[in-house]
Amino acid sequence: MKPIIAGPCSAESQEQILKTAEFLSSQTPVNTMRAGVWKPRTRPGGFEGCAEDGLRWLHEAKQRFGLSMAVEVAVPEHVELCLKHQIDMVWLGARTSGNPFAVQEIAEALRGTQLSAMVKNPLNPDLQSWLGAIERIEKSGISGVKAVHRGFSINLESQFRYPPMWEVPVEIKRLRPDIAVFCDPSHIAGEAHLVPIIAQKALDMEMDGLMIEVHPTPKAALTDASQQLDFAGFEHLLQHLIVKNTTSPGNELQQMRALIDDLDEELIAVLAKRMKLVGEIGAYKNTNQITILQMERWKAAMKHRIDFGRKNQLDDDFMLALWRLIHSESLRIQGN
Ligand code: PEP
Ligand code: MN
C-alpha cells in the first residue's frame, strides 16, 4: 500500500485528537496524522481553528501514539509555532500556494528548519504557480517537498466539490518525476461516499500517496463535515483500495482512458453551461422580439471558431461539423 496521511480537517478538542490518533496508529499505511489548527474560511465568522491549543493536543498525541504530525501553515508565525510544538510536517493550503508573496514568506520561515513540507495545488488549475510554490520551498533548503492534489475551484457542474482535472497532477508528475505527488480525495470529493472513488482513481493514476480526512464523528465536525470519513469508513476504504501492478501491459492505456473520461466530463459540463446560456439568450430575444438566427453573427462566429480551432491544431472540417451541430442544437433550444 502507498503511504497515507489521515486525520480530521480541524483539531477541535483534546479528546477528538487523542481518539483519532489512537485509531490511526493502528492503521498500517498511516504514519502521519493531519489536522488544521488555523482554518482558512471562505467567509468570516465561522470556526477558525484552535491555534496553539490544537498544537498542544497534537504534540501530546504524537508522544502517546508515535505518529508524525502535519499542520497547515499560512503565515511565518504559524511555522514558528509548529516548531515550538514539535510538529513534523507543514503544508501550504490551496488558498496560500497560489500567492507567491505568501509562499516566499513561509519559505523564509522554513529555512534552516527540519520541517518537512507539502504544497497543495492552488485553487485554480495553474500548473506554473503550483510548481513555483514547490520551487520556492525547495530553494529555502527543504528537501523532499511533496505536492498534494486537492482539486480545483472551477465553475463547472460536477459531482465533485473540487473537480480533479487529473491532467494537471499527471503533468506535475511528468515535469517533476523526482517529487512525490499525493492526492487528497476528501477535498476533491466533498462527500464521504465519493472519497473511495477518487482515492482508487488516484492510485490508478500512480499518485504516490493519499491525504484523507478522518473524524470520530464527522456529522458533528466543525469544518468539512460532509466529506470526512468515520473510523469504520476509513477501515473499509483501506480494505478495498487496490494498488495495481503498474508495469503490467494495459496500465498506461487505463491511465490515458481515465484522463479522456475526465476531459469528456469537462467538455459535457462546458456544453451544458453553454446551452443554458443559449436558453437565456432565447428568452431575451423573445421578450425583445429579436429574430433568432442572425446570419451575419453566425458567419462571423463560425469563422472565428474555425480560426481558433486551427490555432489549436484542430481540423477545419471537424470544427465546421462540430459547430454546425452545436448551432443546430442551440436553435432547437431557442425554439426554432
Ligand atoms: C484542509 O486540508 O483542510 C484544507 C483547508 O485544504 P485546502 O487548502 O485544500 O482547501
Ligand atoms: Mn478540510
Q: What is the CATH number of the domain that holds 285?
A: 1.20.59.10
Same domain as 183, residue 255: no
Quote the cell numbers at residue 6: 489521515
Same domain as 318, residue 180: no
Distance 286 CA to ligand 1 centre (A): 45
- Count how many Cα atoms sit within 13 Å of the Cα of residue 23 in the half-sphere of its side chain: 20
Average pLDDT of span 65-77: 98
Same domain as 79, residue 98: yes
Same domain as 272, residue 216: no
Domain that holds residue 55: 4-240
Identify the pLDDT of residue 266.
87
CA 228 to CA 234: how far, in whole Å? 9
Pocket test for ligand 1, best of 150, 214, 222, 223 (most atoms within 8 A of CB): 150
Average pLDDT of span 242-270: 81
Question: pTM to 2 decimals?
Answer: 0.85
Q: Is residue 37 part of a domain?
A: yes
Q: Is residue 246 part of a domain?
A: no
Give the pairing type, strands 209-213 and 181-183: parallel
Listed residues 203, 220, 240: the one ending a domain: 240
Using CA atoms, how far residue 60 sits from 19, 56, 94, in Å, is 12, 6, 28
Average pLDDT of span 61-83: 98
Bridge-partner residues for 117, per DSSP?
90
How large a percentage of the chain has pLDDT more than 90? 80
Residue of minimum CA distance from atom 4 in ligand 1? 93
Average pLDDT of span 149-163: 90
Listed residues 210, 240, 270: the one ending a domain: 240
Q: Is residue 53 part of a domain?
A: yes
Distance 230 CA to ligand 1 centre (A): 18
Q: Is residue 23 part of a domain?
A: yes
* Closest ligand 1 atom number to CA of residue 187: 9
**Cβ distance 6 to 29 under 8 Å?**
no
pLDDT in tens, 276-323: 999 999 899 888 888 766 788 888 888 999 999 999 999 999 999 999
Q: Is residue 215 part of a domain?
A: yes
Element (H, E) at 182: strand 181-183
* Closest ligand 1 atom number to CA of residue 36: 3
Check which CATH number belongs to the domain holding 168 and give it.
3.20.20.70
Same domain as 217, residue 259: no
Least confident of 112-126, 137-151, 265-279: 265-279
**Cβ distance 258 to 313 under 8 Å?**
no
Closest to 133 (Cα-Cα) out of 103, 161, 176: 103
- Provide the number of structural domains found in the chain: 2
Using CA atoms, how far residue 102 sits from 76, 95, 97, 99, in Å, is 9, 10, 8, 6
Same domain as 112, residue 44: yes
Same domain as 278, residue 197: no
When comparing pLDDT for 261 and 244, which is higher?
Answer: 261
What counts of helices (H) and strands (E) characterise the chain? Answer: 13, 8
Q: pLDDT band at residue 249, thresholds of 50, 70 and 90? A: low
User: Could you say which ligand is closest to the alpha carbon of residue 153?
Assistant: 1
Give the pairing type, strands 209-213 and 146-149: unpaired
Listed residues 202, 219, 240: the one ending a domain: 240
Q: Is residue 36 pLDDT above 90, yes or no?
A: yes
Using CA atoms, how far residue 298 sits from 38, 285, 315, 328, in Å, is 52, 15, 20, 11
Distance 228 CA to ligand 2 centre (A): 8
